[in-house]
Amino acid sequence: MDDYTLPFWIYLGVVTVFVGGAMKRIVASHLSAAPTLVAWLGATVLVERLWAFCLPTVLLLALLAFACCLYSARTSPPPANLPAHGKAVFITGCDSGFGKATAKHLDSLGFEVFATVLDLTGDGARDLQRTCSSRLTLLQVDITQPQQVHQALLDTKAKLGLQGLWGLVNNAGVCVNFGDAELSLMSNFRGCMEVNFFGTLSVTKSFLPLLRHNKGRIVNISSPAGDQPFPCLAAYGASKAALNLFTNTLRHELEPWGVQVSTILPSSYRTGRSSNRAYWDQQHKQLLQSLSPALLDEYGEDYMTETKDLFHSYASQASTDLSPVVQAIVQALLAPQPRARDKAGAG
Ligand SMILES: NC(=O)c1ccc[n+]([C@@H]2O[C@H](COP(=O)([O-])OP(=O)(O)OC[C@H]3O[C@@H](n4cnc5c(N)ncnc54)[C@H](OP(=O)(O)O)[C@@H]3O)[C@@H](O)[C@H]2O)c1
């Protein structure tokens, strides 16, 4: 190529614009990408020189422009999230754990938050009241009590007035007890189903008209235990599996209404009482008391103690940083195209 013809200057201009643009974007978005950027620029110059010997200028120009466009498209940031301001979200189970952390974060983003707690005078409720803005409303709701769910709906409607509800985050959940399925009481299976499935179902059915009118979002907090068999968690897992099927069905049914439905599957996090040894000791005691002498004899008390120690050690090693779950919930509420399922956290 003759370096001083008009095509050369056009070529140089185009390369400068595209490479300069890509460079600006990379450096602005993540400075740690600098070594990658140097390698990429080096490769561009090398390829350009090699091609310059054997390709006509116009073709060379077209190829480089195409490569730059492709690169720019790949590195373009995802579409911006919807604004939080003016959006109302109802979230259950905010006494502790993900619920409390999410309620605080949504409030800090500018959402109008309706946070339900089991105990309005408890530490969790007081902490929310102390740290959040006056936009946050605390409501006392046991999701297994239809009357309380109905009252929460009336209170929410009254406060919202003409403003619709944008989001429902079904977070409240329990793992009543752990233990092999054969050793678990029926009340354990029923207790998990009552909160994790029927409670969530009841809240969802109650708030759906508000969400449909606003083409809002539903975010259900499930668990990997609802997808895969985890020994000693059959009762909890079965209730989350039921929740998953319900959520997936709802996602299809509500598509024509413009309501988007997401499932979040957090990995292992230290929340609530589960990191507390006294909690596991109490669970262990309850399990031993509930067993018939024959079953206790066959499984052996040592086995029960080992199981309890194993669960306690898992819980103590779990992550204390709840932000991946909080962020997954925010994405489900604000992403233009929220994911149907999000595994919040490693493994
Ligand atoms: N932590 C994890 O590793 C993990 C992993 C996967 C999925 N999850 C799920 O994440 C969700 C939140 O749990 P978390 O880990 O944050 O535990 P958490 O701190 O125990 O939070 C659960 C919340 O639900 C509340 N709750 C319990 N029963 C209720 C009821 N009948 N009605 C209304 N609220 C009720 C609890 O109140 P109290 O504090 O008064 O009991 C608590 O505020 C649950 O659905 C759980 O299954 C957790």
How does pLDDT run across 130-176, given as a tens digit for each residue? 999 999 999 999 999 999 999 999 999 999 998 899 999 999 999 98
Q: Find the 97 Cα to ligand 1 centroid distance in Å.
A: 7
Q: Find the 3 Cα to ligand 1 centroid distance in Å.
A: 69
Q: 72-125 pLDDT, tens per residue?
A: 666 667 789 999 999 999 999 999 999 999 999 999 999 999 999 999 999 999
CA angle 100, 102, 104 (to 5 degrees): 70
Determine the residue of 90, 91, 95, 274 to mutate for testing ligand 1's pocket, defined as the one with the most ligand atoms within 8 A of the Cβ atom.
95
236 is known as an active-site residue = yes
Q: 49-73 pLDDT, tens per residue?
A: 776 666 666 676 677 777 767 776 6
Burial group, residue 146, by CB count within 10 angstroms (0-12, 13-18, 19+): middle
Q: Name the residue with tokens 């754990």.
A: 97
CB 115 within 8 A of CB 101: no
H-helix or E-strand spanning residue 157 = helix 146-160
- 114 strand-pairing partners: 90, 137
Q: What is the dihedral of CA 29, 31, 36, 38, to 10 degrees?
A: 110
H-helix or E-strand spanning residue 263 = strand 260-264
HSE, CB side, 13 Å, CA atoms: give it for residue 167.
31
Name the closest-CA residue to atom 47, ligand 1.
173
Residue 152 to residue 122: CA distance in whole angstroms: 18
Residue 286 to residue 302: CA distance in whole angstroms: 15
Residues with CB under 6 Å of ligand 1 are 92-93, 95-99, 118-119, 141-144, 171-174, 195, 199, 221, 223, 266, 268-269, 271-272, 318
- Residue 133 has a CB neighbour count (10 Å cut-off) of 11
Q: What pLDDT score was predicted for residue 264? A: 98
HSE, CB side, 13 Å, CA atoms: give it for residue 125.
14
Rounded percentage of the chain residues whose pLDDT exceeds 90 = 67
Q: 207-220 pLDDT, tens per residue?
A: 999 999 999 999 99
- 261 strand-pairing partners: 218
Section 215-232 average pLDDT: 97
- DSSP count for the chain of H helices, then E strands: 13, 7
Q: Find the 172 Cα to ligand 1 centroid distance in Å.
A: 5
The CATH label, of 3.40.50.720, 3.30.460.20, 3.40.50.2000, 3.80.30.10, for the domain at 88-274+318-342 is 3.40.50.720
Name the closest-CA residue to atom 45, ligand 1.
173
Residue 179 to residue 280: CA distance in whole angstroms: 11
Sort strands 167-170 and 341-342 into parallel, antiparallel or unpaired. Answer: unpaired
Sort strands 260-264 and 88-91 into parallel, antiparallel or unpaired. Answer: unpaired
Name the closest-CA residue to atom 7, ligand 1.
223
* Closest listed residue to residue 166, CA positions, set 98, 105, 90, 92: 90
Section 315-328 average pLDDT: 95
Name the closest-CA residue to atom 44, ligand 1.
173
- 167 strand-pairing partners: 89, 217
Range scoring the smallest mean pLDDT among 5-14, 16-25, 36-45: 16-25
Determine the residue of 94, 98, 116 to mutate for testing ligand 1's pocket, defined as the one with the most ligand atoms within 8 A of the Cβ atom.
98
What phi and psi values does residue 127 have, to the nearest 5 degrees?
-65, -45
Q: 259-290 pLDDT, tens per residue?
A: 999 999 999 999 988 778 888 888 888 889 99
Q: Find the 278 Cα to ligand 1 centroid distance in Å.
A: 18
Which has more pLDDT, 200 or 8? 200
> Hey, is 182 helix, strand or coil?
coil
Q: What pLDDT score was predicted for residue 249? A: 98
* Closest listed residue to residue 241, CA positions, set 254, 219, 214, 222: 222
Determine the residue of 151, 170, 171, 325 to mutate for testing ligand 1's pocket, defined as the one with the most ligand atoms within 8 A of the Cβ atom.
171
Split at pLDDT 50, 70, 90, the class of 35 is low
Q: Find the 50 Cα to ligand 1 centroid distance in Å.
A: 61
Q: Which two tokens stand for residue 237?
A: 């897992």
Q: What pLDDT score was predicted for residue 19? A: 65
Sort strands 137-140 and 167-170 into parallel, antiparallel or unpaired. Answer: unpaired
Q: Find the 98 Cα to ligand 1 centroid distance in Å.
A: 7
What is the atom index within ligand 1 of the atom nearest the CA of 270? 1
CB 125 within 8 A of CB 149: no
Question: Among residues 236, 279, 299, 303, which one is catalytic?
Answer: 236
* Closest listed residue to residue 316, CA positions, set 346, 266, 280: 280
Q: Find the 42 Cα to ligand 1 centroid distance in Å.
A: 52
Determine the residue of 195, 271, 282, 320 to mutate for testing ligand 1's pocket, defined as the one with the most ligand atoms within 8 A of the Cβ atom.
271
